[in-house]
């Protein structure tokens, strides 16, 4: 398989919502509670003349904080192996958390292309808040709203240059 986009990020940043939007399907489970998406979900998507597979890396079920973080790290490692492009999804309404920093550290060591995607940018006022994510040192920030779909076209334009 080629042209694989993996969405990575801590719980509740909107991975499954973005997955649904990119695949125009309802294959991922979206919920307000952390850890609801139990498995990795694969869906098909296309943009202009390019077809691709999207992976929603959910799967965090753990009974302690340490196990939980380890599970997230493992999902990110698998995604780095499996994907041709990684979308590092963060949430503009919460800013940067310790888990975001942990994931960023792993992604900085990856040889695969990483797009830092600021989700929940539902309005222009929130656009100003996205510049904090440059501190990850992972390059350009792509502001999107998975809920409205705004920004996802520009993101896909950039992503498919790798396909």
58 binds Mg ion per the rule CB under 5 A: yes
Q: Which residues pair with 117 in a beta bridge?
A: 89, 142
Residue 14 interface partner, choices Mg ion, ligand GDP, none, CB cut-off 5-8 Å depending on type: ligand GDP
Closer residue to Mg ion in complex, CB, 16/146: 16
Is residue 32 close enough to count as binding ligand GDP by CB under 6 A? yes
* 66 binds ligand GDP, rule: CB under 6 A: no
Which listed residue (5, 120, 130, 160) binds ligand GDP by CB under 6 A? 120
- Based on the shown chain and the rule CB under 5 A, indicate whether residue 16 belongs to the binding site for Mg ion: yes
Annotated binding-site residue? 14: yes
**Whole-number minimum distance, CB 48 to Mg ion, in Å?**
27
Chain residues in the site for ligand GDP (CB under 6 A): 9, 11-17, 30-32, 37, 58, 119-120, 122, 145-147
């Amino acid at each position: 398989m080629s042209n694989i986009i993996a969405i990575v990020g801590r719980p509740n940043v909107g991975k499954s919502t973005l997955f649904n939007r990119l695949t125009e399907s309802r294959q991922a489970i979206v919920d307000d509670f952390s850890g609801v998406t139990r498995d990795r979900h694969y869906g098909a998507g296309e943009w202009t003349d390019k077809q691709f597979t999207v992976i929603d890396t959910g799967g965090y079920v753990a009974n302690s904080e340490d196990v939980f973080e380890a599970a997230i790290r493992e999902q990110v490692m698998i995604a780095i192996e499996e994907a041709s492009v990684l979308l590092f999804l963060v949430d503009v309404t919460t800013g940067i958390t310790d888990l975001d920093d942990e994931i960023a550290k792993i992604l900085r060591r990856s040889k695969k292309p990483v797009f830092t995607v600021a989700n929940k940018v539902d309005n222009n006022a929130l656009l100003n808040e996205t510049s904090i994510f440059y501190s990850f040192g992972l390059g350009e920030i792509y502001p999107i709203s998975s809920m409205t779909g705004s920004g996802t076209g520009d993101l896909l334009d950039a992503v498919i240059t790798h396909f």
